[in-house]
Amino acid sequence: CDAAYNWAKNNGGHFKFHALVWGSQYPNWLPNLSVDETKKAITAWFDAVQKRYPDLEVIDVVNEAIRGGNGNYHSGYNNTKIIQALGGGRNGDYAFITTAFKMARDRWPNAILIYNDYNTIQWDVDGGINLVNTIKKNGAPIDGYGLQAHDLMTNGGNGGGTGGGGYCMNYNTFTSTMEKIHSRTNNIPIFISEYDVPSTDDGIQKQCVSEQFKYWMEDPHVAGITFWGYIYGRTWLDCNGKANGCSGLIKDGQDRAAMTWLRDYLSKNKGVNETGLPTGDLTPVPPEPQLPFKGEAFAVPGKIQA
């Protein structure tokens, strides 16, 4: 974490902390704690992160906590007492998420606080919308909704189909779903937080990226896009065992077609962000030189009329 944080600081990049509360990765001793002990452990963790990184810009506060009808969550929250320690989740009110956001706001008053989850574009759209609206209603200081965007192939995540990666999600369905998310969350700022296109077929990967990435860049409600790994063979998706790390954009040191397209597109387009969140280029911009009004200076003393 230090390495990524320091790299961003020294190279004009953005750093997002991922994540404060998650049901899938935690110390192996956490499930053995009582509710009170769990609350103390979570509080100590928040305090330790704040002490080490007091100036965080963007934070995934809670990750993968959509609750299904079977009582299970998108990650293993039921394996610990995290939910009970942070106020519970009675009647689907997600109180524990609201508590976590308030704890984060107390420690990082200026950070962009995000709720982050998967399968929220193709499979569990309504579950994500309901969660975001519920915690907003209950007072969570949420600034953005993170759509992981691992689910934009026809077969879901790890791929099958042609070339070991399936086909792109239908474009009309993709755009209408994005519009639905915007309209039903009152245009909460969106972060495409873990985007990847798993395919061994360069043409299919390029098609998906050129359609989806371009849409997000030109969508005024999308504040940021993060690729979830970019080196072929070093990403987490394996196209159903056919090719390890098949979502990578650079293979054997050479740009794949999607990366070639990305470089060209980004050289000509800075994107549209009307969310009000400051997530643009961090490179200092020199001020425009001041020019005399109408091209020449007024004589002083003299008569000036506005």
Q: What is the pLDDT of residues 127-163, one digit of tens each?
A: 999 999 999 999 999 999 999 999 998 864 444 434 4
Residue 64 among the catalytic residues: yes
Report the mean per-residue pLDDT for the chain.
90
pLDDT recorded at residue 242: 75
Q: What is the dihedral of CA 84, 87, 89, 95, to 10 degrees?
A: -150
3-state secondary structure of 79: helix
Which residue among the candidates 57, 64, 274, 288 is catalytic per the annotation?
Answer: 64
DSSP code for 66 = P
Contact of 121 with 177, CB cutoff 8 Å: yes
Strands (E), 213-262: 222-227, 250-251, 254-255
Neighbours of 96 (CB within 10 A): 22
3-state secondary structure of 47: helix
User: Does residue 40 carry a pLDDT above 70?
Assistant: yes
Residue 270 and residue 13: Cα distance in Å, rounded? 15
Contact of 277 with 144, CB cutoff 8 Å: yes
Structure-token match 């230090």, residue found = 2
Q: Which of 98-112, 218-232, 277-291 has the lowest mean pLDDT?
A: 277-291
Residue 288 among the catalytic residues: no
pLDDT recorded at residue 12: 87
Choose between 3 and 272: higher pLDDT: 3
Q: Which helix (H) or strand (E) holds 113?
A: strand 112-117
Which residue among the candidates 194, 211, 218, 296 is catalytic per the annotation?
Answer: 194
